[in-house]
Structure 1
Amino acid sequence: MKTWIALLLALCLPFAALANEEEKKEGEEGAAPKVAYYNLVPALVGNFGPGPKLKFFKADIALRVTGTEAEEAVEYHEPLIRNQLVMLFSQQTEESVGSQEAKEALRQEALKQVQAALNQETGKPIVEDLLFNNLIIQ
């Protein structure tokens, strides 16, 4: 009788292991995608505005993406993203970056341009948000 029980247990163990492995896979598939912040390093630095006196900007920017594929796509297209942002910043005037509301409008425009560039390249906007970690205008 003991041998029958031992034999029955030995036959059931592989099935228990398979069931446990399937539960793990379902848990991984149902898990929320990982949100990541991709920092554009080094910071964007340049000049802006018309006139004889040069004005400078320095922007530390982070891009929020979801999933490792999106993070890899942003890393791959970083030169394009940096170009879009430098061109946008260089077109600004003192009035367009002088107040908090103006800086927020600039952030929203930067996000739109990054999403448009990535949408053109990949077919998806990929970046969910653009954040200024630091924005210095002088």
Structure 2
Amino acid sequence: MKNKIILIVIQVVLVLAAAGGTWWFTRPDAPEPVPAEGEEAADAANKPLAKPEYISISPSFVVNLQDTRPMRFLMVEVELMSRQTGAKDTIEEYLPGIQHGLNMLFSAQTQETISTAEDREKLQQASADKVNDLLESEGQERLVDAVYFTKFVVQ
């Protein structure tokens, strides 16, 4: 009689283990945990960036610098970089306005405001902001991720 009870208990345990295993491996996937704010930034930093697209603005900008004696000139060749698809077509559509805005920005500079590398980096950022502001004013999204000066001559 005692052996019979032990066999029944073992059979019940095996049936429960089989049912539990079946449930475990066939259950629906649990929802992914919501990452904390810092984890989202880390995940975004680990994602590969889209391939950059470079848009050359030609001709070069040649402007007079403000407040200089003798008169000085600035010549700048500009490349815009975007990682968004279709940016080149949109930028080319608004190119006359972009050229005008950059021309006004460059002609407002003085010898002192572009004399150091740090000053030129500030001008690069101001150029990107100028282009993006113009695009936003036309109902477009901010497409320019960076502005590069491929030639920068003060004479």
TM over 0.5: yes
TM-score of the superposed pair, with normalisation by structure 1: 0.71
Residue 152 of structure 2 corresponds to 135
* Paired residues, number: 108
Q: Give a deviation string over 1:109-129, Cα, whole Å, max 9, x none.
A: 111111111111133111111
Deviation at 1:70, TM superposition (A): 1.2
Deviation at 1:68, TM superposition (A): 4.3
In terms of mean alpha carbon deviation, does 87-96 or 66-75 score higher?
A: 66-75
Gaps of 5+ in 1: 1-31
Structure 1 residue ranges (4+ consecutive) displaced by more than 4 angstroms after TM superposition: none
Residue 66 of structure 1 corresponds to 83
Counterparts in 2 of 1:111-122, with a 5 A limit? 111-122=128-139
Paired residue for 2:123, among 106, 115, 125?
106
Q: Using the alignment, how far apart are the partners of 2:50 and 2:121 within structure 1?
A: 28
Counterparts in 2 of 1:28-39, with a 5 A limit? 34-39=51-56
Q: Percent same amino acid among aligned pairs?
A: 28
1:53 maps to 2:66: no
Paired residue for 1:42, among 55, 59, 75?
59
Q: Using the alignment, how far apart are the partners of 1:72 and 1:40 within structure 2?
A: 13
Structure index of larger Rg: 2
Output the amino acid matched with 1:75. E
Residue 81 of structure 1 corresponds to 98
After superposition, the CA RMSD in angstroms is: 1.9
Output the amino acid matched with 1:40. I
Task: Give the SS at the match of 2:62.
Answer: strand
Gaps of 5+ in 2: 1-48
Deviation at 1:77, TM superposition (A): 0.8
More strand by share: 1
Output the amino acid matched with 2:129. K
